[in-house]
Amino acid sequence: MKRFTLLFLVLAAAGVVRADKAIVLCAGSRSHGRGDHEFRAGCLLLADAINRLPGYRATVVSNGWPADVSVLKSAAAILLYADGGDGHPAIKPERLKLLDELAAQGVGIGTAHYGVEVPKGDPGLAMLRWTGGYFETFWSVNPHWTAEFKQLPTHAITRGVQPFAINDEWYYHMRFAPDMKGVTPILSAVAPKETLNRPDGPHSGNPWVRASVAKGEPQPLLWAFERDNGGRGFGFTGGHFHKNWADENFRKVTLNALVWIAKGEVPARGIESTFTAEALAANLDPK
């Protein structure tokens, strides 16, 4: 066994053997009604697609955070797809510290749906360091609406993705890094005025977002982030409805983003994936 291990290390050092890129998907605990916030089922679908790619190994962690954090320490990329706010799984001081250390080493960090929201202060500043943007209460909003993605920028994350429209709880008007440094909007849409029908509150309205919508400004709903140290991150505000993973473009742009933050090469046609209706209905949380 020692001889085999030594041979493997020698070959790996020579570039003959390469370890798979590990992507860890942290799926939040049960939340909302059936078919909504199906974090674990959504992560399992994404992981299945990633595990079909040569050179990648995806692991799904349930309940928001691993019992053994060594799985994170060996990751090339980490996705946080879970409830946010005060219940966000990453905001405990020791977890912020760990993710900061991993980000400093170049580990990619992505967030999806409610996972983009963290409290202001240390968690918000950390999210800006990791992903370049986050949902800030009394600044960002979270209405349900049909976003139309009519034009896509040229980027590895958009490879193979066609213009599409889909209804979701699209959070928008994120708090981004100053001057959008390192941030590239990937999916952007103009929010209709109807998205501001609710009274002002921590997750709705506010003068700044009303002014932005009145101007017809495109709202970044998925963005890519490149850190000064070469590390990567992304934020994706969609993912409320589990059924949306059946949409090829919705699924592909997310898979592309995961491979990109792991510093993998996204194919020219993007990450292809298919699954059955039975697979989509599998692994839903008991609610």
pLDDT tens-digit map of 78-91: 999 999 999 999 99
CB–CB of 260/232 below 8 Å? yes
- Examine residue 46 and state whether it is found in any structural domain, yes or no: yes
Say whether pLDDT at 286 is over 50.
yes
- Examine residue 218 and state whether it is found in any structural domain, yes or no: yes
In the numeric block, which tokens belong to residue 147?
Answer: 């976003």
Which pLDDT score is estimated for 17?
47
Which pLDDT score is estimated for 275?
86
What's the total number of domains in the chain?
1
Instruction: Give the Cα separation of 85 and 80 in Å (integer).
Output: 13
- Examine residue 149 and state whether it is found in any structural domain, yes or no: yes
Say whether pLDDT at 7 is over 60.
no
pLDDT category at 19 given cuts 50, 70, 90 is: confident
Which pLDDT score is estimated for 3?
52
pLDDT tens-digit map of 155-180: 999 999 999 999 999 999 999 999 99
In the numeric block, which tokens belong to residue 140?
Answer: 């960002």
CB–CB of 115/254 below 8 Å? no
- Examine residue 94 and state whether it is found in any structural domain, yes or no: yes
CATH (domain of 264): 3.40.50.880
Count Cβ atoms within 10 A of the Cβ of residue 269 and give its class: 0-12 exposed, 13-18 middle, 19 or more buried: exposed
Say whether pLDDT at 14 is over 60.
no
pTM score, two decimals? 0.92
- Examine residue 163 and state whether it is found in any structural domain, yes or no: yes
- Examine residue 2 and state whether it is found in any structural domain, yes or no: no
Per-residue exposure over 93-131, b if at least 16 CB sit within 10 Å of its own CB, e if not: eebbeebeebbeeebbbbbbbbbbbbbeeebbebbbbbb
- Examine residue 30 and state whether it is found in any structural domain, yes or no: yes
- Examine residue 214 and state whether it is found in any structural domain, yes or no: yes
pLDDT, the chain, mean: 94
Q: Residue 212 sits in which domain range?
A: 21-281
